[in-house]
Structure 1
């Protein structure tokens, strides 16, 4: 597990994190002593509005303080990491930090410490004459009825949907009874489950004694390292299948918390437990949606993805499904409308407006694929057999040079230059050998088709440089099209190559002397333009490449990699070397 942190004092970390919310949302204030984030009293507020107070242990950011703001909660109180705030902190929040004229809903997650402390504060508020309701959010099915016993379900990521809906209803003028009733109704129609590949580490503490094996995942693990239902060998597809079964299997008497029919509609929430990269979370969302739609015939009305209730650096995620039910509250106050209502809280991230969701069209988009080479033929001609012979000779040398280019790049780069050049060369050779339709004598068409190959198979900086250069080469050739058939002579190529070098200079600062492939490319193009001698041009490229051995790297990965003393005077720039091999091959076949 990851045990390195930028903060070693967890108490200092909590306070600075809370204070940051006042920096990112100017409508908020911080009671530092009591760790309360609340809406500033000088910020405009709707009259006769119920106040929503939430909170819990820290370490679940953006929950809970990140959900304070217009349209969501009015205040949140924080404990230390994974520990409930005290009843006194909560009492101050509900009595002194939010308006109480229309009543207060106190709404934490369902954990023993939170229930006791928030419950005690609720009674203090009632004793002070404030109309107050208490509700503990409980959506987790990872621990079933038998094991959870009297404690009931734990509160995890899905509770954020409850906060969003009750906050929106309060903003829309709902009274305390309506807001409290909606919290109950949403919770009754909500199920969630999380899974994690590893326990989390609390800054300033030792590592937990228990750990999860590298090839296993804990299904149903809680947000404080609590165990779930079981551990299993990790594979995403069967993991999601298991999680959805625990959420939706009507025959699982231990976990079937909601009943649904094919007519029922749902909201799907995918929540990052803190340590999953955005790209992986997106892949998880896609897999969950695929299985929900394919295996359960559920097409979610809304799909929301992000980090809403985390577990520090938890390497896991949770799935929540909310069955949409009639709130009975009238126009503008359905569950979907309340979910879509605007909120000004930094932790809420669902920016797609209702109109986009309601006008969703799932039919396949008709893709337009322009083929500019075929749409805009040219009059520049070169026999395809000549192209295959000359290009093939250059490509052959590039492919054969891969081990040497890779060796050079392993010393001065990241080792992928040779493979990238070989991959591009092999793909172009395949085009020459088996293009469909076959290559003709329109040389602009041929170059454009080669460009497409390069753009698709060559990545990284060198791939981009070659793609720009070849696109400019096609342009430089087409500029010489006078409208009558013209053979692509050495002079035509020389002019087009000179144009390409000038175009490339607009997009890269690399110049000869910077130890890049430019040290081979520019001498070749300049010499060919001046002399029309391709063998002399190839020799100039070879000399340019040789000169890179003594150059200090100014651009590219070589700037950062290795010790110059190990390769100065010995190793040429790998990209320049690979290009020179290609140019020598061209010259020998010419």
Structure 2
């Protein structure tokens, strides 16, 4: 776990984070003394939904306060329930109570007792108040849960959203309470994590046998570092398979809390516990959806993915499934329409409307006419056998040089230059093997352009694509009226015009420690001598000359580290290798 934080004082952290929540939504206010976030007065009277719990689960619950969702949220310290007095003040003094209040709380002893005490106090004072306790975690089975029951985790937010939307439509407390309870009864969830989390302000615990090993994942870990049901060494597909079985396997008597059939409409929530990158959460979501359909014949009608209920910066995720059930209040008040209803709360990130979901459009734009587009031929001819031989020689040289290029780029950049060049070289070789030899210089170049543009990314990929497109144009403007060989002079002229075009998009010039330190001398020497071998040697010398050269462009400018003085620019070295290989192939 990471024990480094920007704010190490937990009290200051909670207070300042709640203050920021109010800053990002002008419709809500912050009672700092009682750590309550609540809707400002002035909106139409409705049932108020109140929730809360320990801090550390953001955006739950403070950032869910707003029109169409919660009326108030009460925060405790990190991972600890707020007091009954805090909750009582929220119910009696901070939210609209004329039409009643529904309290939604997760099934943790401290939360249930403190929120429950506040509910009873509010009832004793004459208010209409009801409470729903959400326990959706199948990581805790019947045997282990005992009388306490299942913990509440991310599925809770679906209960809050549906209840909040129904309240906003003017439903009675009895109706809102019934639908919230119905929703809670139709949700199952399970989480998994690669590591425990560290609470700011606490000392780092001593290493112990309880710590997760590097290769282990804990299945069913709670959102407060509580132990899970088991530890496994699994890849993502294997992990998701186990998690879905815990949710859906009807033969598991200890965990079969909800029967979901392929005929049921379901909502899938893939929740980030805080420390998973958005990129990786996307990959996880895709894996879950694919396995649901393949192994369980379940196709969710809604898929929500993001950080809804976190565990500080927990390196894990949870899966929740909601079985859509008739609310008995008509189509306009179905679980799906209530889930889709807009909410003006900064923590609710599901932005897709009911209409968009129901359209189920499968239309795409398909304008491809094959892997390699046809281009208007020219009258510039080349020897296809010799050209392919030379190009393959050059590409082989680049592939062989990949380890050196990668090593150089690891020292001066981010280490991807060699891999990118190798990927492009291998893709061009594959194209050469799949396509018939051509004797038209422009079509030959365009076939290479198609590969470069799709297989090479980053800065160098863009530079090569611009240069090659300009090279094709430079050849085309020299195309004669009748078929003629593409001479060295023709190529030299086209290369020079490509260099001119490239200079419009990058300020790189010789001496800046970039690939142009090899490109400029190659083109300049070729223009003067007409000799490819001499030009390649000049490129090689230019690349060597970048050793010890201080960069003024590219990532090397701001990447720290030692050793850059002793290595050439990776891009220049890679290009020089290509050009040397090209000259050898023409011999």
What does residue 215 of structure 2 align with?
A: 215
Q: Does 1:545 align with 2:548?
A: no
Q: Which residue of the other structure, out of 178, 183, 198, is the alignment partner of 1:181? A: 178
Distance in 2 (alpha carbons) for counterparts of 1:387 and 1:270: 52
Asked whether the 8 Å contact 2:29–2:37 carries over to 1, the reply is: yes
What does residue 514 of structure 1 align with?
A: 512
What is the total number of aligned residue pairs between the two structures?
583
Asked whether the 8 Å contact 1:216–1:231 carries over to 2, the reply is: yes
Deviations 1:323-375 (A, max 9, x none): 11111112410111000000011111111111111111458985734556424
Distance in 2 (alpha carbons) for counterparts of 1:306 and 1:40: 27
The 3-state SS of whatever aligns with 1:267 is: strand
Displacement of 1:469: 1.4
What does residue 121 of structure 1 align with?
A: 118
Per the alignment, do residues 406 and 152 of structure 1 end up closer, same or farther by CA in structure 2, a change over 3 Å counting? closer
Structure 2 unpaired stretches of 5+: none
Distance in 2 (alpha carbons) for counterparts of 1:501 and 1:88: 74
What does residue 30 of structure 1 align with?
A: 30
Asked whether the 8 Å contact 1:454–1:466 carries over to 2, the reply is: yes
Distance in 2 (alpha carbons) for counterparts of 1:294 and 1:581: 48
Asked whether the 8 Å contact 2:158–2:339 carries over to 1, the reply is: yes
What does residue 130 of structure 1 align with?
A: 127
The 3-state SS of whatever aligns with 2:8 is: coil
The 3-state SS of whatever aligns with 2:217 is: strand
Per the alignment, do residues 57 and 494 of structure 1 end up closer, same or farther by CA in structure 2, a change over 3 Å counting? same
The answer to which of 192-201 and 303-312 deviates more is 192-201
Distance in 2 (alpha carbons) for counterparts of 1:198 and 1:167: 33
Asked whether the 8 Å contact 2:187–2:320 carries over to 1, the reply is: yes
Displacement of 1:529: 4.2
What does residue 340 of structure 2 align with?
A: 340
Q: Does 1:240 align with 2:240?
A: yes
The 3-state SS of whatever aligns with 1:506 is: coil
Alignment of 1:190-209 (within 5 A): 190-208=187-205
Distance in 2 (alpha carbons) for counterparts of 1:32 and 1:306: 28
Distance in 1 (alpha carbons) for counterparts of 2:388 and 2:17: 63
Deviations 1:492-532 (A, max 9, x none): 21222122222222332322221111112123224444664
The 3-state SS of whatever aligns with 1:374 is: coil
What does residue 573 of structure 2 align with?
A: 577
TM-score scaled by length of structure 2: 0.93
What does residue 150 of structure 1 align with?
A: 147
The 3-state SS of whatever aligns with 1:107 is: strand
Deviations 1:158-203 (A, max 9, x none): 0100000000000011111101111111111111111112211111
What does residue 301 of structure 1 align with?
A: 301
Alignment of 1:162-181 (within 5 A): 162-181=159-178
The 3-state SS of whatever aligns with 2:96 is: coil
Distance in 2 (alpha carbons) for counterparts of 1:429 and 1:271: 43
Per the alignment, do residues 72 and 423 of structure 1 end up closer, same or farther by CA in structure 2, a change over 3 Å counting? closer
What does residue 468 of structure 1 align with?
A: 466
What does residue 274 of structure 1 align with?
A: 274
Q: Which residue of the other structure, out of 55, 60, 69, is the alignment partner of 1:72? A: 69
Deviations 1:425-477 (A, max 9, x none): 45434544x2x331210111111222233334444432332222112212222
Distance in 2 (alpha carbons) for counterparts of 1:132 and 1:188: 20
Superposition RMSD in Å: 2.4
Distance in 2 (alpha carbons) for counterparts of 1:199 and 1:410: 32
Alignment of 1:143-542 (within 5 A): 143-208=140-205, 210-361=210-361, 368-369=368-369, 373-399=373-399, 401-402=401-402, 404-406=404-406, 408-432=408-432, 434=433, 436-481=434-479, 484-529=482-527, 532-535=530-533, 537-542=535-540
Distance in 2 (alpha carbons) for counterparts of 1:402 and 1:223: 45
The 3-state SS of whatever aligns with 1:164 is: helix
Distance in 2 (alpha carbons) for counterparts of 1:128 and 1:443: 89
Structure 1 unpaired stretches of 5+: none
Distance in 2 (alpha carbons) for counterparts of 1:407 and 1:102: 69
Distance in 2 (alpha carbons) for counterparts of 1:538 and 1:447: 20
The 3-state SS of whatever aligns with 1:332 is: helix
Distance in 2 (alpha carbons) for counterparts of 1:376 and 1:370: 16
Per the alignment, do residues 445 and 20 of structure 1 end up closer, same or farther by CA in structure 2, a change over 3 Å counting? same
